[in-house]
Structure 1
Amino acid sequence: MLTLNIIGPGRLGKSIARLATPHYQIAGVCASSLASSTDAVAFIGAGQACATLADLPAADLFLLAVPDAMIADKAVELAASSVVKAGNVVFHASGASEASLLLPLKAAGASIASLHPAFSFADPERAVSTFADTLCALEGDAKACDVLYDFAQALGGKPFYLAEGGKAAYHASLTMAANFLVTLADLSIKTAVQAGISDEIARLLINNLMQQTLGNIKKLGPAAALTGPIVRGDQVTVDKHLNVLSDISSRRCYQSLGLATINLAGEKLSDVQQRALWQKLS
């Protein structure tokens, strides 16, 4: 059984560790203090609580589950501790940063990679019980990625590989799909309230429509799921929308997404319709 050290046992780190326990031996757990390490070990149900990186026992895998801004410095510190040996796999779980942040560990003979689960670890207890089938993005050294492919599957995840240099595009896509969806919901609800609808009904109206649309996207794909005035070439309705959107954020969002929607509609619009809509939305 391969052994795993956890550095930075926050919500993600200790969730991953507990998911790994049936298939991997948790060797050491190192947090910012011995007390925090001990608390994490209690949650994980395995491992040795460590006060410093130098106290970590030998292990096959090392997970740096620290905040993104700390990964590079922690990699230097870990390399200086001489705990990592040739043949070890060291990885982080950042969605935006690449495995190259761990380059100091390569000098020790380790293979480096990143493994990012597309999942929210807001509540570790819930994360452990609902993680199954989570997509996990891998990039880095081929050897490390092969080891982590098996690791992700053991957690119950579904691993896949990113192209070299593809981490930024991957993370941007998640930001648009998750964070911007929340922003879009907020702007939509505020615009619905502008029509004299109560906040409660506006939330229900927008949430239901978004859920239905997401179901259509999943079943049909974005192009086939597209409906509304832009794909119909309905310039009159688009004009009405623009005139009523007095809030600058909502108006700019409508214009930017409208231009992207023209591209998505493609051949469903004539050249004349595309040019007319483009002028209105630019």
Structure 2
Amino acid sequence: MDRKPSFSIIGAGKVGSALGVLLQELGYLPAAVYSRTFSHSKRLADQLQVAAAPHPAAAAAAAELVFITTTDREIAAMAAAIARQGGCRPGQIVFHASGALASDVLAPVRAQGAWAVSMHPLQSFTSTAGARANLPGSCFALEGDEPALERAIEIVKDLKGRYFVIQPEDKPLYHAAAVIASNYLVSLVHLSASIYRQLGLDEEQAMDALFPLIQGTINNIARSGPAGALTGPVARADGATLRGHLRALQKMDWRTQQAYRAMGLYTVGVAMENGNLTPNEAVAISNIFLEVDNHEQKSNYSRLPAYETGRHPHYHANRLRLSDGHLGRCFRYRRHPGGGLPR
């Protein structure tokens, strides 16, 4: 069996601490730990039975693999400090775990001959214990130098995870989608619970009431996909119910009302995608959310994207047939040779 390479952790927060412990359990060789907060550095270093390095370059110099798991705003400064103080060398691989930043932020270590890669887990972490439990089996977005990608893929496979490889310019859009799926899901649940609190339920009672619905919806999405799982008044073109909601929501603050309208408008597109709404119904329902009177709705297709009205769009999008037989807009991501997301 080939020897696993040595690694250092720079940034001993939730993700860095969990990753360090997991890599050690998988046979990778811990070399050093650095964190701006010495108590964090010492705690992880003691767990891994290595030294707490005095500065990031010392930690980086000790290992073949360097994981910068600081906050996003610190990554560039850490890479610059490592390069400036001679902590990187040709053949070494430097990782960062940011979802929003590309591997370009590691340009200083690249200039010294090291390879750079971003390895972002599509996962939510609220504690070190949670990160340690959730990292194995997660999906990772990878982007960077080819030799570094090969090593990142080995690590993902060791973690029993999945991965896909993206282009550096697509990191912000990729991260926006992840924020919607995770952070904004939290906000949507909070919004729903806050409305129930207006009815006299406390937060625990609201969550006890809502959680089975939330879990059931997630189960339906897993079985049928997001469009196939859609139910409710938008999917039924039930304008009377939606108007009733909007009247009732006038008791709430403006952010709640605007959030409901915005999500309703987006849901019209989902309902058209799964065939629940005709173009005429979609326009009528959209105009409810837009507060447009009935007499203004005649042939008002301009309020919907062209693809949702049945008309031909005015742009030319490359189209390709995906592996599941559906047509979709061309995208740049490709499964990396020898791996990728399993179907």
When normalised by structure 2's length, the TM-score is 0.77
Structure-2 residue corresponding to 1:269: 277
RMSD: 1.9
Aligned with residue 253 of structure 1, among 252, 255, 259: 259
Structure-1 residue corresponding to 2:17: 14
Structure-1 residue corresponding to 2:146: 142
Shift of 1:54: 4.0
Give runs of aligned pairs for residues 150-169 of structure 1, distance below 5 A.
150-169=154-173
Instruction: Provide the rounded CA distance (Å) in 1 between the counterparts of 2:246 and 2:80.
Output: 53
Once the two structures are superposed, residues 28-71 of structure 1 have per-residue CA deviations (whole angstroms, 9 ceiling, x without a partner) of 2122265543321112x233321123433432111111111111
Instruction: Provide the rounded CA distance (Å) in 2 between the counterparts of 1:90 and 1:243.
Output: 55
1:227–1:32 CA distance, 2 compared to 1 (3 A): same
1:269–1:53 CA distance, 2 compared to 1 (3 A): closer
Shift of 1:197: 5.0
Deviates more, 1:223-232 or 1:146-155: 146-155
Determine whether 1:92 maps to 2:96. yes
- Secondary structure of the equivalent of 1:138? strand
- Secondary structure of the equivalent of 2:235? helix
- Secondary structure of the equivalent of 1:120? coil
Instruction: Provide the rounded CA distance (Å) in 2 between the counterparts of 1:193 and 1:48.
Output: 50
When normalised by structure 1's length, the TM-score is 0.92
Give runs of aligned pairs for residues 77-226 of structure 1, distance below 5 A.
77-195=81-199, 199-226=203-230
Give, as a single letter, the amino acid of the residue that structure 1 aligns with 2:215.
Q
Once the two structures are superposed, residues 75-120 of structure 1 have per-residue CA deviations (whole angstroms, 9 ceiling, x without a partner) of 1111011121101111111121111110111111111111111233
Deviates more, 1:200-209 or 1:60-69: 200-209
Q: Which runs of 5+ in 2 are unaligned?
A: 291-343
Instruction: Provide the rounded CA distance (Å) in 2 between the counterparts of 1:187 and 1:129.
Output: 28
Once the two structures are superposed, residues 166-218 of structure 1 have per-residue CA deviations (whole angstroms, 9 ceiling, x without a partner) of 21122111211111111111221222344455654432222221111111001
Report which of the two has the higher share of helix: 1
- Secondary structure of the equivalent of 1:84? coil
Contact 1:34 1:50 in 2 (8 A): no
- Secondary structure of the equivalent of 1:115? strand
- Secondary structure of the equivalent of 1:6? strand
Q: Percent identity?
A: 32
Determine whether 1:53 maps to 2:49. no
Instruction: Provide the rounded CA distance (Å) in 2 between the counterparts of 1:193 and 1:10.
Output: 35
1:109–1:257 CA distance, 2 compared to 1 (3 A): same
Shift of 1:127: 3.1
Deviates more, 1:18-27 or 1:52-61: 52-61
Structure-2 residue corresponding to 1:278: 286
- Secondary structure of the equivalent of 1:264? helix
- Secondary structure of the equivalent of 1:202? helix
Give, as a single letter, the amino acid of the residue that structure 2 aligns with 1:254.
Y
Shift of 1:277: 1.0
- Secondary structure of the equivalent of 2:70? coil
1:53–1:200 CA distance, 2 compared to 1 (3 A): closer
Give, as a single letter, the amino acid of the residue that structure 1 aligns with 2:54.
A
1:225–1:60 CA distance, 2 compared to 1 (3 A): same
1:249–1:220 CA distance, 2 compared to 1 (3 A): same
Contact 1:185 1:207 in 2 (8 A): no
